[in-house]
Amino acid sequence: MSGHVAVFGNGSWGTAFSMILADVGSDVRIWGRRPEAVAEINERHTNERYLPGVALPEAISATNDPAAALDGARVVVLAVPSQTLRANLADWRPLLDDQQIFVSLMKGIELGTSKRMSEVIQEAGGVDPERVVVVSGPNLAKEIGRREPAASVVASPTTAVAEEVSRLCAARYFRPYTSTDVVGVELGGAVKNVVALAVGMAEGMGLGDNSKASIITRGLAETSRLGLRLGADPVTFSGLAGVGDLIATCMSPLSRNHSFGVRLGRGMTVEEATAETRETAEGVKSCRSILQLARTHGVEMPIVENVDAVVAGERRPDHVADLLMSRARKAEGS
Ligand SMILES: NC(=O)c1ccc[n+]([C@@H]2O[C@H](COP(=O)([O-])OP(=O)(O)OC[C@H]3O[C@@H](n4cnc5c(N)ncnc54)[C@H](O)[C@@H]3O)[C@@H](O)[C@H]2O)c1
Ligand SMILES: O=P(O)(O)OC[C@H](O)CO
């Protein structure tokens, strides 16, 4: 694959993933919205707001101009908030070509449509499914920024395309595994954010590790139930994009979703918690779209349902604990 890689989004993960690509050998052109951030990447090779203390490789440049980012790019990486992607792609669509491969780093489900990000890319970008790749796994951007070893999943319906992208991001500290289960990998990435909100709430209320482990495990059960109904491979949920990402996100103070949940558990309103969160906490929006997806397919997701009720201001976190504990008893695997 020749040509540079275009990365849309200079937030935490867009920047850290650009560093991986550049470390492996690609020239990377990042598109960013704020001119000061673009100038900082070009002149100082840093992005202090999102990846403080990280010296970015010189092979990374930045631009405000989407045409300049896309011109000659063979691979286009998308790392913008899930809820803005459709509008972003509508703007960029006239600049896209019909050979480019699109890599989604996003972990959300679209509000209103309940579509996965790969589906939004296909619809809004006019991209056929064979050219869409999803990267997801336990990949907290700030740890990747320190080049700490981590693994991830690179999923595409076409193995050869997944392998191409995998080669581009196989760094000594970043180990990609390929998969053809796009549905499972995307659901794992989106639902774990909602489970991390629930775990964060438990922590914020002062509950301990038994409670947190119970939420994580039953959250995985909900994710698998939805995934199986939508045709995902059950093996995916015991892998990096499933249980791997659940553990990282639910247990780490670096997770925005986890931290947001802690604030709610301590009694803050969604507005107060949002005011303290500078970066994207995808689960806050995706809890509603995942719940809608589950209802459409007749899948029960009590943790997602309760997180949605808290986020909507209809229920208090301490009430959620009582509701979950008083559900009818049943067999674990049902
Ligand atoms: N940060 C991580 O550790 C991490 C790891 C894996 C996956 N992800 C996922 O990657 C995606 C991006 O997350 P992030 O951490 O980089 O988020 P971020 O909040 O750090 O950055 C988001 C970026 O999107 C830009 N943006 C905001 N509103 C926009 C708009 N209306 N149009 C275009 N751009 C806009 C911001 O300027 C910023 O550059 C999310 O779906 C997230 O779940 C994040
Ligand atoms: O900070 P969060 O909660 O968006 O999680 C970051 C990554 O998705 C972890 O893999």
Q: How many CB atoms lie within 10 A of CB 149?
A: 11
Strands 5-8 and 28-31: parallel
Burial (Cβ within 10 Å: 0-12, 13-18, ≥19) of residue 95: middle
**By alpha-carbon position, which residue is closest to atom 7 of ligand 2?**
140
| Token code pair at residue 319 | 């009430």
The residue whose CA is least distant from atom 5 of ligand 2 is 255
Mean pLDDT of 215-239: 98
φ and ψ at residue 258, rounded to 5 degrees: -55, -50
Could you give the C-alpha distances from 106 to 14, 179, 185, 210, in angstroms and in order? Answer: 10, 17, 11, 30
Ligand 2 centroid – CA 241 distance (Å): 12
Buried residues in 180-191 as b, exposed as e (16+ CB within 10 A): ebbbbbbbbbbb
What confidence category does residue 2 fall into, taking pLDDT thresholds of 50, 70 and 90? low
91 Cα distance to chain centroid: 22
- Does position 15 have pLDDT exceeding 80, yes or no? yes
**Element (H or E) spanning 137, and its range?**
none
Contact status, residue 159 vs residue 178, Cβ threshold 8 Å: yes
> Do 5-180 and 183-325 fold alike per CATH?
no
Tokens of 213: 């482990």
Please name the residue that has the structure tokens 């309103």.
Answer: 269
- Is 12 annotated as ligand-binding? yes
Q: How confident is the model at residue 332 (pLDDT cuts 50, 70, 90)?
A: very high
Q: pLDDT per residue over 127-172, tens digit each?
A: 999 999 999 999 999 999 999 999 999 999 999 999 999 999 999 9
285 is catalytic: no
Angle at 117 between CA 309 and CA 29, to 5 degrees: 125
Domain 183-325 classification at class level: mainly alpha
The predicted pLDDT at position 104 comes to 99
Residue nearest to ligand 1 atom 34, measured at CA: 80
The model's confidence at residue 277, banded by pLDDT at 50, 70 and 90, is: confident
Enumerate residues 6+ apart whose C-beta is below 8 A from 128. 122
3-class SS letters over 214-240:
HHHHHHHHHHHHHHHHCCCCHHHHCCH
Q: Which pair of structure tokens corresponds to residue 227? A: 């995934």
Alpha-carbon separation of residue 23 from 165, 171, 266 (angstroms) = 14, 7, 41
Q: How far apart are CA 199 and CA 310, in angstroms?
A: 13
Separation of alpha carbons 161 and 33, rounded Å: 29
Position 3 scores a pLDDT of: 83
Residue 254: burial class (beta carbons within 10 Å; 0-12, 13-18, 19+)? middle
Q: What is the pLDDT of residues 88-123, one digit of tens each?
A: 999 999 999 999 999 999 999 999 999 999 999 999
* Amino acid symbol at 247: I
Q: Is the pTM of this model over 0.95?
A: yes
Per-residue confidence (pLDDT) for residue 280, from 0 to 100? 83
Where do the structural domains in the chain lie, given as residue ranges? 5-180, 183-325
Token output for 230: 């939508």
Ligand 2: centre distance to CA 257 (Å): 7
Residue 13, annotated ligand binder? yes
pLDDT surpassing 90 at residue 279:
no
The alpha carbon of 292 and the centre of ligand 2 are apart by a number of angstroms equal to: 22
Q: Distance between CA 313 and CA 315 in Å, rounded? A: 6
- The pLDDT assigned to 165 comes to 98
Write the class of the CATH domain 5-180: alpha beta
Whether residue 1 is predicted with pLDDT greater than 80 in this model: the reply is no
Percent of the chain clearing pLDDT 90 (strictly above): 97
Q: How far apart are alpha carbons 209 and 101 in whole angstroms? A: 42
Dump pLDDT digits (tens) for 303-324.
999 999 999 999 999 999 999 9
pLDDT band at 206 (very low <50, low <70, confident <90, very high): very high
Polymer length of the chain: 334
Ligand nearest to the CA of 86: 1
Question: What tens digit of pLDDT does each residue of 38-60 get?
Answer: 999 999 999 999 999 999 999 99
148 CB-contact burial (10 Å; exposed 0-12 / middle 13-18 / buried 19+): exposed
